[in-house]
Structure 1
Amino acid sequence: MDKTIATPAAAVADIPDGAVVMIGGFGGSGAPIELIHALIDRAPKNLTVINNNAGNGHVGIAAMIEQGLVAKMICSFPRSSDPVAFTEAYKAGRIELEVVPQGTLAERIRAAGAGIPAFYTATSYGTDLAEGKPVEEFDGKHYVRERWLRADVALIKAHHGDPMGNLTYRMAGRNFNPVMAMAADRTIAQVSRIVAPGDIDPEHIVSPGIFVDAVVEVPNPVQEEILIREGATYP
């Protein structure tokens, strides 16, 4: 039952070329920067990355793109505060993009975790994003059918975790992390502190250990926004 891993590098060591990788976070909040950078060091290729945005500056997901790891981005906001890495790669034809409205993105991930292969939503009906997708009419209104969104691996960030993989989150850091943990074949969580089994009140557990395969402690995680303000690059 002990799911602890010694280092971020060891945690991501088995992620292969071509994997579909969900990465938690809303901007820098809840983003597992240390796991992302460990994955860059390992350098698997042709990854499909699912995140709320396509990275900022030259760290995190943006650094993954600059290092040539990412073949496709599935996200809601490809252009955010400093999207230079994605913009350059997209204009050069080095990366594919699938834009998904934010609520639909969250629901596609949640649906996968709940075992729901498809659902209908009014969002995107009549737009380019609905092109080629089945449409049904319910009670006089048109809805677009969306498929669930699953991944081979989810990289997430939590606040506290125990060796069995039970997780808590801190404030806005919760965001996409819990639903991504449920929608991947393998979930790797970095946490600020690993506590003893039983130290987390069961009422406070957000992601039960059944959805988490590996936990690695990162006591002082870096924040993406701070790295960007400092002009940091990775590697």
Structure 2
Amino acid sequence: MSVQVINSKEAAALIPDGAVIALDGFLGTDVPEEILENMRARFRATGHPKDLDVWHASGIGDGKDKGTNNFAEPGMLKRLVGGHWALAPQLQPLVANNDFQAFNFPQGVLSQIFRDAAAHKPVQLNTVGLGTFVDPDVAGGRLNEAAKASTLVNKMQIHGKDYLAYEVPTPNVALLRGTYADENGNVSFEDEPLTLIATSCAMAAHNNGGKVFVQVKRVVKAGSLKPKDIRIPGVVVDYIVETENADMTKQTTDTYYNPDFVEANVVKPKGDIDLPLNPKKVIARRASFFKKPTDKIVNFGIGKYPETVSLVLDEEGQGSGIITTVEPGTFGGVPLGGGDFGSAIAPEATIDEPYMFDFYDGGGIDITFLGLAEADVKGNVNVSQFGPKIAGTGGFVDITQNTPTIVFNGTFTAGGLKEHIEDGKLVIDQEGKFDKFPESVQQITFSGDVAYANGQKVFYVTERAVFKLGKNGLELIEIAPGVDLNKDILDHMAFKPVISDGLKEMDPRIFREPPMMKQAG
């Protein structure tokens, strides 16, 4: 055998101090959790491995103690460059205390950067991130003072056009998870919902003289795996780590495998959709109007408002013919939320994550529906950082900078907001404590200036007002029936938006049952 079969404790003991780690995973999918947990246990016992430089593309964890939370020990990290941070709350106090250098780069950029690392390319050139907090003219993706010790992104021009030049890491350790490994180290992924960046990470570490560790359910005989099921060839694998819990049978943040996520012939009927008429449905209904019949490739972001748009389209008879995509690599099927976000029931196709972002970067999506946390006078949107709380961008920057039509969705205020629909009107029972339209957002995750210059169509849909992105920033184009322009809208904005000469009331059908069955246009 050209590879060694070891257990997760032995794997953790082989990670050197100062390692540059390429880590794969999406929430709990494909995460080598046993290796990570044993690394943390080893550090607590011995102080090693320390000063780690960890790079990962997606959010990895359960929002409690799994995934990248395993690095939340003072001194264990030197730097962490991640695409999403909300799932690792244990890291956030360490970021605030400047215990290590913390960076947040777009998920797509990071998913593609490991391919560049495998090919020994010095930088990755990309327009993704221009005008946002990732831009070196803004914050360079830095999340704390400690990160000022490093510069990982610069700006340059090619043929008169601005690009961001992201520094490419040189990983010497890859930590990955597959389904089975044969005796030659070839790793299959037939039971994994996603393939993510495993191939790229393995090749990046191998080609930089490093070691590749792959956690699997068990080792099988050489030649027993189908060649096309193998996503990591054995020639780049050094250690196969057999899990101590090979009987996992359901894919969640804790476990392994659900056949519905990987088999196309599994059909899960949605049943009758019966959404109550409430402000959430009003937002989703109005947002759905922006989808044209020619918009076939659709992306729905995570969160109750974007996900409700998908349900409304089905309820209103507008969902047929739509192909949904989710950034870690699925086309079609029924996209899932919560701890299974990223996976889909009976997907039509699943591809590697870097290729999905190639598709996105090239304008492959027709329209996207995303969450709205806060927006400012320029039409900038922040979904990534709120005071000391770091959410991270995920694929938000990649998607919003390359999709022709963007529809942001969310309530007008937040924090204790109570509303209901009565007699075809919106009734505000209790106003939210927090206004979501400041003069300037805390962090620019979406740049209104860049979007306007690129000719994108951008809309901001709330239950009481609809805005569009215009030449001079946010422009109010519609208000809900029953709403007072000054008391309910302008008084809760830190700036006065441009008010359209054609300001009108939102379509009254949005506020009534039964289902409309027809878009209002």
Please name the residue that 1:233 is paired with.
none
Identify which of 126, 132, 137 aligns with 1:127. 132
Q: Show CA shifts across 1:15-74 (max 9, x none).
A: 121111222101110000011112122211111111223643123320321465223211
2:226 and 2:251 mapped to 1: Cα distance?
27
Please name the residue that 1:177 is paired with.
198
Q: Show CA shifts across 1:128-187 (max 9, x none).
A: 42316031133x532222232221111100011112111111343411222111111111
Q: Show CA shifts across 1:64-102 (max 9, x none).
A: 21465223211011224xx32011111222232111111
The code of the aligned residue for 2:232 comes to: S
**Which protein is bigger by CA-based radius of gyration?**
2
Q: Which runs of 5+ in 1 are unaligned?
A: 230-235
The code of the aligned residue for 1:69 comes to: M
The code of the aligned residue for 1:16 comes to: P
Please name the residue that 1:9 is paired with.
9
Secondary structure, aligned partner of 1:156: strand
Please name the residue that 1:71 is paired with.
78
Secondary structure, aligned partner of 1:79: coil
Confirm or deny that 1:203 pairs with 2:228: yes
Confirm or deny that 1:225 pairs with 2:253: yes
Identify which of 215, 220, 239 aligns with 1:214. 239
Confirm or deny that 1:57 pairs with 2:48: no
Please name the residue that 1:45 is paired with.
50
The code of the aligned residue for 1:225 comes to: T
Q: Show CA shifts across 1:4-23 (max 9, x none).
A: 32311112322121111222
Secondary structure, aligned partner of 2:165: strand
Please name the residue that 2:280 is paired with.
none
Instruction: Determine which structure has the larger helix proportion and give its number.
Output: 1
Secondary structure, aligned partner of 1:48: strand
Change (3 A) 1:165 1:67: farther
2:59 and 2:239 mapped to 1: Cα distance?
25
1:134 and 1:141 mapped to 2: Cα distance?
10
Please name the residue that 1:194 is paired with.
219
Please name the residue that 2:509 is paired with.
none
Deviation at 1:223, TM superposition (A): 6.7
- More off after superposition, 32-41 vs 12-21: 12-21
Please name the residue that 1:154 is paired with.
174
Secondary structure, aligned partner of 2:231: coil
Asked if the contact 1:5/1:11 (under 8 Å) is kept, the reply is no
Deviation at 1:120, TM superposition (A): 1.4
Give structure 1 regions of 4+ aligned residues with deviation exceeding 6 angstroms: none
Confirm or deny that 1:165 pairs with 2:198: no
Q: Which runs of 5+ in 2 are unaligned?
A: 44-48, 137-152, 256-338, 340-521
Asked if the contact 2:211/2:237 (under 8 Å) is kept, the reply is yes
Asked if the contact 1:12/1:39 (under 8 Å) is kept, the reply is yes
TM-score of the pair, normalised by structure 2:
0.40
Change (3 A) 1:70 1:25: same
Secondary structure, aligned partner of 2:29: coil
TM-score of the pair, normalised by structure 1:
0.85
Asked if the contact 2:28/2:254 (under 8 Å) is kept, the reply is no
RMSD over aligned Cα atoms? 2.3
The code of the aligned residue for 1:73 comes to: L
Paired residues in the alignment total 225
Task: With a CA cutoff of 8 Å and minimum separation of 6, indicate the structure with the bigger relative contact order.
Answer: 1
Please name the residue that 1:232 is paired with.
none
Asked if the contact 1:24/1:156 (under 8 Å) is kept, the reply is yes
Asked if the contact 2:18/2:53 (under 8 Å) is kept, the reply is yes
